[in-house]
């Protein structure tokens, strides 16, 4: 019978399992991470784990704003979990960077104690695009229910913005230097976007507090990258067999990982570069390449691949026609929108992304990538479309994933399958109202003004191309060669 993963059982791990080689009792909490889901544990916690071997000041206090799931899984394991790097050469590593997991609704004052401790110098976040309570212009959504609540009850916040503002207010009142806020989510210009939202929220409390945050708190821009499929029972069984230890919530990801952070004073307090973090004064190019080429292509595979009957990224990326379509879109339509790329080898980056999609060691479900489309698509694809239109470039291929998302929503609505999306109810209503006629259906989606900005909808080149794509995708046995160049 396998033993449960915990500190007392580490010595019983099977040979080949990488273990923390530092004294976990000697480490101190220097980071509060908000949103300890799969990506954080596969990515930032992995970097911190490597750093703790030489610098014990950076252990993580993980804060879940709503769900107790991570706490319930990891608390009996003293925060330990298994990271499985999935490829043909699988690697299993037990991560010890998380020292505690708190749940905001149950541990409010304890969480504020961590956030206001002088030793806490970084607050990192992975709460997904929807977790920032932003409107379609990426400004603070003043009408969001959590923002309304937090303005009325600032000392018991629900939103990320409310938590950050109240924690910074308490630090200022106690004359404690502010922490740096490091967003690790796929928001364009994430640091500046989050700063703007926090300052806007803080201004409702105090103009002085808002100015202090704007003037003194670092919000470095970041780019994060590693494909991280969701955990399932097959992964749990694999990890138990390979390590000899039962882990309630192991994590899997591809071997490739990248963390690019704006080079600010707070990020120089530790030797992050020694564990593979890239500190730079220009995160923008890395961010654009990742969001547009990797994430844009991922969403395209998800929505078009699902319509074609595929279930996983591997299946979709090895479909000859779909793979050729995605590659053409990346090279001919997305790459020209990246701007000045300097020494950045765009062609090699595209080659690497396509190879990562074909990783046979991972089973990454398209359904997972399709979650939260109303928040992901504006960041991943709509900016690319806007830039292409401004440059008078064709947008026919770029609008295929948008049309495929609409078809996906319609199909789910007709089948009575709930969407995983913050706008699920509104989307389900639109999907149910669709008739199959392109002009009617696309106009219904456009009227929501969440994915499609009104100005774009009023642009004939955009509207006509989207209508054509929707009509072609709705046809039985649709063929992507309608969107391919003659040389493909």
Q: How crowded is residue 245: how many other Cβ atoms within 10 Å of its Cβ? A: 24
Q: Which pLDDT tens digit goes with each residue over 357-366? A: 999 998 999 9
What confidence score (pLDDT) does residue 487 get?
Answer: 52
What confidence score (pLDDT) does residue 482 get?
Answer: 84
| Buried-exposed string 131-168: b where 16+ CB fall within 10 A, e elsewhere | bbbbebebebbeebebbeebeeebeebbbbbbbbbbbb
What superfamily does domain 3-280 belong to in CATH?
A: NAD(P)-binding Rossmann-like Domain (3.40.50.720)
What confidence score (pLDDT) does residue 481 get?
Answer: 83
Long-range pairs for 173-178: beta carbons < 8 A, 24 or more residues apart: 174/116, 176/116, 176/118, 177/118, 178/213, 178/216, 178/217, 178/218
Averaged over 128-141, what is the pLDDT? 92
Averaged over 413-419, what is the pLDDT? 95
Burial of 197 (0-12, 13-18, 19+ CB in 10 A): buried
Cα(188)–Cα(182) distance, integer angstroms: 14
Q: Which pLDDT tens digit goes with each residue over 36-87? A: 999 999 999 999 999 999 999 999 999 999 999 999 999 999 999 999 999 9
**CA angle, 322 as apex, 316 and 325 as ends, to 5°?**
140
Domain ranges of the chain: 3-280, 285-483
What confidence score (pLDDT) does residue 140 get?
Answer: 97
Q: Does residue 287 surpass a pLDDT of 70?
A: yes
Tell me if 220 sits within 8 A of 264, measured CB to CB.
yes
User: What is the CATH topology of the domain spanning 285-483?
Assistant: 1.10.1040
Which two three-digit tokens encode residue 18?
Answer: 């990488």
State the average pLDDT for the chain: 95
What confidence score (pLDDT) does residue 166 get?
Answer: 98
Averaged over 163-185, what is the pLDDT? 98
Q: Does residue 332 surpass a pLDDT of 90?
A: yes
Averaged over 246-256, what is the pLDDT? 96
Averaged over 417-426, what is the pLDDT? 95
Q: Does residue 143 surpass a pLDDT of 50?
A: yes
pTM comes to 0.86
What are the residues whose beta carbons fall under 8 Å from the beta carbon of 15, sequence distance 6 or more? none
Q: Does residue 237 surpass a pLDDT of 80?
A: yes
Q: Does residue 1 surpass a pLDDT of 60?
A: no
Cα(334)–Cα(398) distance, integer angstroms: 8
Q: Does residue 388 surpass a pLDDT of 70?
A: yes
Which two three-digit tokens encode residue 63?
Answer: 């804060």
Long-range pairs for 388-394: beta carbons < 8 A, 24 or more residues apart: 388/333, 388/336, 388/337, 389/456, 389/459, 389/461, 389/462, 391/336, 391/337, 393/333, 393/336, 394/333, 394/465
| Buried-exposed string 41-76: b where 16+ CB fall within 10 A, e elsewhere | bbbbbbbbbbbbeebbebbbbbbbbeeeebbebbee
Which two three-digit tokens encode residue 474?
Answer: 């709705």
Q: Does residue 488 surpass a pLDDT of 50?
A: no
**CA angle, 326 as apex, 186 and 389 as ends, to 5°?**
70
What confidence score (pLDDT) does residue 478 get?
Answer: 84
Q: Which pLDDT tens digit goes with each residue over 447-487? A: 999 899 999 999 999 999 999 999 999 887 788 888 887 65
């Amino acid at each position: 019978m396998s033993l449960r993963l915990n500190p007392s059982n580490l010595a019983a791990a099977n040979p080949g399992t990488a273990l923390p080689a530092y004294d976990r009792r000697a480490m101190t909490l220097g980071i509060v991470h908000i949103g300890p889901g799969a990506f954080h544990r596969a990515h930032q916690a992995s970097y911190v784990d490597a750093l703790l071997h030489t610098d014990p000041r950076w252990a993580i206090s993980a804060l879940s704003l709503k769900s107790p799931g991570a706490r319930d899984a990891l608390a009996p394991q003293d925060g330990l979990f298994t990271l499985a790097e999935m490829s043909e050469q699988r690697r299993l590593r037990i991560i010890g960077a998380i020292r505690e997991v708190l749940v905001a609704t149950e541990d409010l004052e304890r969480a504020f104690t961590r956030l206001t401790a002088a030793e806490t110098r970084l607050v990192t976040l992975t709460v997904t695009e929807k977790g920032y309570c932003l409107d379609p212009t990426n400004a603070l959504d003043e009408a969001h229910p959590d923002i309304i609540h937090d303005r009325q009850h600032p000392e018991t916040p629900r939103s990320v913005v409310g938590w950050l503002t109240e924690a910074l207010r308490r630090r200022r009142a106690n004359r404690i230097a502010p922490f740096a806020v490091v967003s690790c989510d796929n928001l364009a210009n994430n640091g500046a976007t989050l700063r703007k939202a926090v300052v806007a929220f803080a201004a409702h409390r105090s103009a002085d507090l808002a100015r202090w945050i704007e003037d003194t708190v670092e919000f470095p821009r970041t780019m994060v990258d590693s494909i991280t499929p969701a955990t399932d029972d097959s992964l749990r069984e694999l990890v138990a067999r390979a390590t000899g230890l039962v882990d309630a919530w192991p994590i899997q990801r591809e071997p490739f990982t990248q963390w690019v952070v704006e080079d600010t004073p707070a990020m120089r307090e530790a030797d992050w570069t020694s564990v593979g973090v890239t500190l730079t004064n220009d995160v923008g190019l890395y961010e654009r390449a990742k969001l547009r080429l990797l994430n844009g292509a991922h969403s395209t595979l998800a929505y078009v691949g699902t319509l074609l009957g595929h279930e996983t990224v591997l299946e979709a990326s090895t479909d000859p026609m779909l793979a050729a379509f995605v590659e053409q879109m990346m090279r001919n339509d997305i790459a020209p929108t990246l701007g000045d790329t300097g020494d950045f080898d765009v062609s090699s980056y595209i080659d690497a992304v396509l190879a990562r999609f074909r990783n046979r060691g991972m089973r990454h479900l398209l359904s997972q990538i399709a979650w939260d489309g109303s928040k992901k698509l504006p960041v991943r694809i709509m900016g690319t479309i806007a830039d292409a239109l401004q440059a008078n470039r064709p947008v026919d291929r770029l609008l295929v994933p948008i049309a495929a998302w609409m078809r996906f929503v319609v199909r789910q609505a007709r089948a009575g399958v709930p969407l995983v999306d913050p706008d699920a109810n509104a989307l389900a209503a639109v999907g149910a109202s669709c008739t199959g006629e392109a002009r009617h259906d696309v106009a219904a989606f456009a009227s929501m003004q969440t994915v499609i900005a009104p100005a774009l909808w009023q642009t004939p080149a955009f509207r006509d191309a989207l209508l054509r794509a929707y009509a072609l995708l709705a046809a039985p046995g649709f063929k992507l060669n309608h969107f391919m160049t003659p040389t493909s």
